[in-house]
Amino acid sequence: MATRLSRTESYSLLALSLACFGILANTLQGEGEPLIASIAFSGLAFSFCYALIRWLGNAFMHRGFKGKDLCKLKQTEIPETMGAVCAMVYLSIIVVFIPWPFYKDIVAATSGGGNRDVMKEIEQVETGRLLHRFPHNKLASYLSAILSLQCIVLLGIGDDLFDIRWRHKVFIPAIAAIPMLIVYFVDFGVTQMVVPTPLRPYLGELLDIGWLYYVYMALLSIFSSNSINILAGINGIEVAQSLVIALLIVFNDCLYLFVTPYPHPATDSHLFSLYLLLPFIGVSLALLMHNWYPAKVFVGDTYCYFAGMVFAVDGILGHFSKTLILLLLPQGFNFIYSAPQLFHLVPCPRHRLPHLNPRTGLLECSRAEFKKPLTRPIAESLKLLHRLRMLDVEVDKEGTVVSCSNFTIINLWLVWFGPMREDQLALGLLGFQTAVGLMGLFIRHRMALLVFTQDNL
Q: Supply the minimum distance, in Å, between the C-beta of residue 118 and ligand UD1.
A: 56
Taking alpha carbons only, the member of 196, 223, 218, 215 closest to residue 333 is 223
Q: Supply the minimum distance, in Å, between the C-beta of residue 75 and Mg ion.
A: 17
Question: Judged by CB, which is closer to ligand UD1: 169, or 386?
Answer: 169
| Angle, helices 237-254/267-291, rounded to nearest 10 degrees | 160
Question: Judged by CB, which is closer to ligand UD1: 181, or 346?
Answer: 346
First to last CA, the chain: 47
Partner whose binding site includes residue 69, from Mg ion, ligand UD1, none (CB under 5 to 8 Å by kind): ligand UD1
Q: Supply the minimum distance, in Å, between the C-beta of residue 338 and ligand UD1.
A: 6
Partner whose binding site includes residue 230, from ligand UD1, Mg ion, none (CB under 5 to 8 Å by kind): ligand UD1
Q: Give yes or no for a contact between 327 and 151, defined as CB atoms under 8 angstroms apart.
A: no
Q: Which helix (H) or strand (E) holds 364?
A: strand 362-364
Partner whose binding site includes residue 33, from Mg ion, ligand UD1, none (CB under 5 to 8 Å by kind): none
Residue type, 30: G
Q: Give yes or no for a contact between 324 and 307, defined as CB atoms under 8 angstroms apart.
A: no
The region that residue 128 occupies, defined by phi over 0 for left and psi between -120 and 50 for alpha, beta otherwise, is: left
Question: Judged by CB, which is closer to Mg ion: 221, or 226?
Answer: 226
In a 13 Å sphere around the CA of 354, the CA atoms on its Cβ side amount to 29
Question: DSSP secondary structure string, 16-80?
Answer: HHHHHHHHHHHHTTTT--HHHHHHHHHHHHHHHHHHHHHHHHHHHHHTT-EEE-TTSSS--EEE-
Q: Supply the minimum distance, in Å, between the C-beta of residue 350 and ligand UD1.
A: 7
Q: Supply the minimum distance, in Å, between the C-beta of residue 391 and Mg ion.
A: 23
How far apart are alpha carbons 16 and 202 in whole angstroms?
58
How far apart are alpha carbons 206 and 197 in whole angstroms?
11
Q: Supply the minimum distance, in Å, between the C-beta of residue 4 and ligand UD1.
A: 24
Partner whose binding site includes residue 295, from Mg ion, ligand UD1, none (CB under 5 to 8 Å by kind): ligand UD1
Q: How many residues bind Mg ion (CB under 5 A)?
A: 2
Partner whose binding site includes residue 425, from Mg ion, ligand UD1, none (CB under 5 to 8 Å by kind): none
Q: Supply the minimum distance, in Å, between the C-beta of residue 147 and ligand UD1.
A: 25
Question: Judged by CB, which is closer to ligand UD1: 80, or 314?
Answer: 80
Question: Judged by CB, which is closer to ligand UD1: 193, or 362?
Answer: 362
Contact residues toward ligand UD1 (CB under 6 A) are 67-71, 80, 229-230, 232-235, 295, 298, 301, 351-353
Question: Judged by CB, which is closer to ligand UD1: 145, or 429?
Answer: 429
Q: Supply the minimum distance, in Å, between the C-beta of residue 8 and ligand UD1.
A: 27
Q: Give yes or no for a contact between 293 and 160, defined as CB atoms under 8 angstroms apart.
A: no
Partner whose binding site includes residue 235, from Mg ion, ligand UD1, none (CB under 5 to 8 Å by kind): ligand UD1
Taking alpha carbons only, the member of 219, 240, 217, 234 closest to residue 315 is 217
Tell me which residues in 251-310 interact with Mg ion (CB under 5 A): 301
Partner whose binding site includes residue 13, from Mg ion, ligand UD1, none (CB under 5 to 8 Å by kind): none
Question: Judged by CB, which is closer to ligand UD1: 322, or 351?
Answer: 351
Q: Supply the minimum distance, in Å, between the C-beta of residue 245 and ligand UD1.
A: 18
Angle 198-202-203 from CA coordinates, rounded to 5°: 95
How far apart are alpha carbons 246 and 317 in whole angstroms?
15
Q: Which residue is nearest to ligand UD1 (CB)?
A: 67
Residue-wise burial string across 85-115, b where 16 or more C-beta atoms lie within 10 A, e elsewhere: bbbbbbbebbeebeebbbbbbbbbbbbeeee
Q: Supply the minimum distance, in Å, between the C-beta of residue 362 and ligand UD1.
A: 15
Binding mask 217-246 for Mg ion (x = CB under 5 A): ------------x-----------------
How far apart are alpha carbons 364 and 413 in whole angstroms?
10
Tell me which residues in 308-367 interact with Mg ion (CB under 5 A): none
Partner whose binding site includes residue 352, from ligand UD1, Mg ion, none (CB under 5 to 8 Å by kind): ligand UD1
311 phi and psi, to 5 degrees?
Answer: -65, -40
Question: Judged by CB, which is closer to ligand UD1: 250, or 409?
Answer: 409
Taking alpha carbons only, the member of 392, 399, 306, 324 closest to residue 355 is 392
Q: What are the residues binding Mg ion (CB under 5 A)? A: 229, 301
